[in-house]
């Protein structure tokens, strides 16, 4: 089976070994322009042609696929229910959904148990609702690719499964996935999923700062971003650093409020940040985030960790 993560800048595709311990084949290609926006697929034919080219070259034997998706339009709510059997919980949630998901008929809704209280008297459950319009795009794409669609999973759950499989997390860990347009924040507490949020921030925002400062186009700004230092002391780039840090600080302030919510809910502080995503490779960004939060920030230069954790997580079952 292959896992596909269609990002706004890159599309990542991977397939697993039989034990789902690692990806044995990874491909990352530039996503065709104007084919995805905030999780919605807008040109199935172009995407199908694009993916078929990759599949014919690298994944000829694969017949099944999974998608991982992310969008600010995906609703994630945590609710606490009295302890009950799974079939009873499923029926009870039908009556709870309308309270948490407005216009629920417009969404595909699923749920997952994420823990119990110490006395096993209550169940912590997350409800996930994705717009039917969004999901239909992925269903149509799978049909066009002539592959059997096994699962559509959300980023935060995929990242949680990847981290649990690869990193064996302890304590309070925040995984910050900095992409081209959005940053996904997933918090894992004592090896269990806690909650997640999405912040509108990514590498494209840095490109815009560069383009405006140097009066250049987006492509040139992207190349400049990859080559030049941003968050280190260098008088040649002082103005760029000042403008970039000002913007990034405003976004880290939003993430700080997410951490505050976790701390007020769990009465624990975040003790580690794991940074992934293409934009995480900006020179000096890791150290800048560490200094901002006063929390150790780690990462891994292996492409599996930097780019492919969502795709890998979509292939992991039973977590």
pLDDT in tens, 182-213: 999 999 999 889 989 999 999 999 999 889 88
102 and 155: one domain?
Answer: no
Task: Tell me what pLDDT residue 81 has.
Answer: 83
Instruction: Tell me, yes or no, whether 15 and 162 share the same domain.
Output: yes
Mean pLDDT by 10 residues, the chain (319 residues): 94 82 88 95 96 94 94 90 82 80 88 73 88 97 96 94 88 94 94 91 91 87 78 74 90 96 92 94 90 94 91 84
Q: Tell me: do 62 and 112 sit in the same domain.
A: no
Residues 124 and 143 placed together within one structural domain of the fold: no
Domain total for the chain? 3
Are 17 and 158 within one domain? yes
* Residue range 154-190, pLDDT digits in tens: 999 999 999 998 888 889 999 999 999 999 999 999 9
The overall pTM is greater than 0.85: yes
Q: What is the CATH number of the domain that holds 6?
A: 3.30.420.40
pLDDT score for 18:
64
Say if 316 falls within a structural domain: no
SS3 of the chain: the string is: CEEEEECCCEEEEEEECCCCCCEEEEEEEECCCCCEECCEECCHHHHHHHHHHHHHHHCCCCCEEEEEECCCCCEEEEEEEECCCHHHHHHHHHHHHHHHCCCHHHEEEEEEEEEECCCCCEEEEEEEEEEHHHHHHHHHHHHHHCCEEEEEEEHHHHHHHHHHHHCCCCCEEEEEEECCCCEEEEEEECCEEEEEEEECCCHHHHHHHHHHHHCCCHHHHHHHHHHCCCCCCCHHHHHHHHHHHHHHHHHHHHHHHHHHHHHHHHCCCCCEEEEECHHHHCCCHHHHHHHHHCCCEECCCCHHHHCCHHHHHHHCCCC
What is the residue range of 38's domain?
2-71+134-166
| pLDDT given for residue 188 in this prediction | 95
| Domain presence at residue 315 | no
Check residue 319 and give its pLDDT. Answer: 59
């Amino acid at each position: 089976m292959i896992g596909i993560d269609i990002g706004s800048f890159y599309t990542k595709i991977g397939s697993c070994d039989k034990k789902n311990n690692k990806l044995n084949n990874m491909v990352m290609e530039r996503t065709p322009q104007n084919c995805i926006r905030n999780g919605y697929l807008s040109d199935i034919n172009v995407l199908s042609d694009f993916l078929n080219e990759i599949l014919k070259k690298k994944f000829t034997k694969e017949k099944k696929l999974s998608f991982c998706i992310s969008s600010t339009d995906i609703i994630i709510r945590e609710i606490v229910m009295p302890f009950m059997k799974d079939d009873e919980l499923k029926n009870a949630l039908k009556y709870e959904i309308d309270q948490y998901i407005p216009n629920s008929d417009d969404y595909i809704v699923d749920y997952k148990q994420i823990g119990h209280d110490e006395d096993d008297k209550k169940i912590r459950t997350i409800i996930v609702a994705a717009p039917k319009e969004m999901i239909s795009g992925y269903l149509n794409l799978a049909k066009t690719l002539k592959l059997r669609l096994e699962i559509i999973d959300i980023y935060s759950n995929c990242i949680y499964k990847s981290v649990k499989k690869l990193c064996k997390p302890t304590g309070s860990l925040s995984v910050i996935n900095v992409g081209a347009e959005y940053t996904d924040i997933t918090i894992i507490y004592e090896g269990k999923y806690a909650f997640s949020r999405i912040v509108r921030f990514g590498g494209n925002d840095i490109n815009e700062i560069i383009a405006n400062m140097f009066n250049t186009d987006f492509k040139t700004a992207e190349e400049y971003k990859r080559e030049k230092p941003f968050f280190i002391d260098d008088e040649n780039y002082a103005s760029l650093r000042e403008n970039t840090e000002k913007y990034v600080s405003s976004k880290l302030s939003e993430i700080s409020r997410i951490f505050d919510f976790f701390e007020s809910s769990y009465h624990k502080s975040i003790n580690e940040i794991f940074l992934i995503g293409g934009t995480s490779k900006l020179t000096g960004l890791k150290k800048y985030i560490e200094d901002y939060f006063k929390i150790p920030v780690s990462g891994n230069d292996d492409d599996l960790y930097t780019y492919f954790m969502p795709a890998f997580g979509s292939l992991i079952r039973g977590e």
